[in-house]
Amino acid sequence: MSFISIQDVRFAYEQEEGQPVKNAVDGVSLSIEKGEFVAIIGHNGCGKSTLAKHLNAMLLPDSGKVLVDGDDTSDEAKTYDIREKVGLVLQNPDNQLVASIVEEDVAFGPENLGVAPDEIRRRVDEALKAVDMYEYREHAPFKLSGGQKQRVAIAGILAIQPECIVLDEPTAMLDPSGREEVISTLLKLNREKNMTVVLITHYMDEAVLADRVVVMDSGRVLTQGTPEEVFSQVELLKKHRLDVPQSAELAYRLKGCGLTIDKIPLTQADCVAMLEEAMK
C-alpha cells in the first residue's frame, strides 16, 4: 500500500449564492510512496494548493478518499495521527512563526502534542541542526531573512517528527538565495533522512530535482512522470500555459530549427553537454 493514496478526490469551496459550483480538485487519483520526492506543478488556480491541504486533513474531500498510511483523513479520530505523520509548511513563513525566540517556536508543535520536556529539547536541537539553523536558536524570528524564516518553519514541522513534509510554494516569497537555502534543505532531508517530500511549486527549476513531477490543470492531473518524461512534453505544457526549464526551452527551439537533439536537457550542465555534442 502507498504511504499516501488519493482516490478520485473532488472538492469545491463554498460559492456565493447564485454562483455555479466549480471543483477546485476534480477527480484526482494519485499515489505517493515513502521516501519519494514529488513535485506538483501548475498555474495559479489549478488546484495544487487545495490538494496539498488534503494531505494532512486541513481540508476533507467532498467525495473520494485520502488515505495516509492506511488512515482515512475523514475519520476525525485519526486526525492527530495523520498530522503527526504529514506536516504542512505554508507559503508565508510569518503565518507559521508563533514565538519570539527561534527555539521556542520550533518547540511549539511537540509541546502541544504533550511531548516530555527532555524529548522536546532533543527534537528542537535536532530539527534546527537538520535545517542548518542551530546557531540561530536564540535569535528573534522577525530579524531573520525570508529563507531563514522558512527554514525555521520547516524545523517546526520536523520537531513533530513527521514521515512526510508537504510544502505549499515555500519559495514563492523568497529571493534566489533564500530559494536555494530551502530547496537544498529539502533535498538533504529527502536523501539523507529518507523523508517523503511533496513540493508544490511554480518554479520549473525546482521541479526538475524531484523523483516525480505531477502536472495539474483545472483541478485534474494533466500528466505525471519523471522530470525527463514530463518536461519533454513541451508542446503539451505550453498548450496549458505552463513553462518548462530554460534548458528544455532552448533545446525545444533548437529542435524546431532542425537541430537533432536526442534527449531534452533539464539542467545547465545537461544543456552545455547538449550544445557541445551538437557543435561537433
Name 129's Cβ contacts closer than 8 Å, sequence gap at least 6: none
Tens digits of residue pLDDT in 82-98: 999 999 998 888 888 88
Assign a CATH topology to domain 33-60+79-227. Answer: Rossmann fold (3.40.50)
Local structure of 278: helix, strand or coil: helix
The b/e string for 34-70 (b: 16+ C-beta within 10 A; e otherwise) is ebbbbbbbbeeebbbbbbbbbbbbbbbbeebbbbbbe
When the pLDDT of each residue in the chain is averaged and rounded to a whole number, the result is 90
Which residue type is seen at 20? P
Domain ranges of the chain: 33-60+79-227
The cell for 200 is 508544490
Tens digits of residue pLDDT in 204-232: 989 999 999 999 999 999 999 999 999 98
Q: Is the pLDDT of residue 63 over 80?
A: yes
Nearest by Cα to 249 from 233, 229, 260, 225: 233
- What phi and psi values does residue 21 have, to the nearest 5 degrees? -80, 130
DSSP classification of residue 74: T
CA–CA separation, 140 and 97 (whole Å): 10
pTM of the complete model beyond 0.85: yes
Q: Is the pLDDT of residue 18 over 70?
A: no
Tens digits of residue pLDDT in 150-190: 899 999 999 998 999 999 988 888 888 888 888 998 999 99
Of the ranges 13-22, 75-84, 90-99, 234-243, the best mean pLDDT one = 75-84
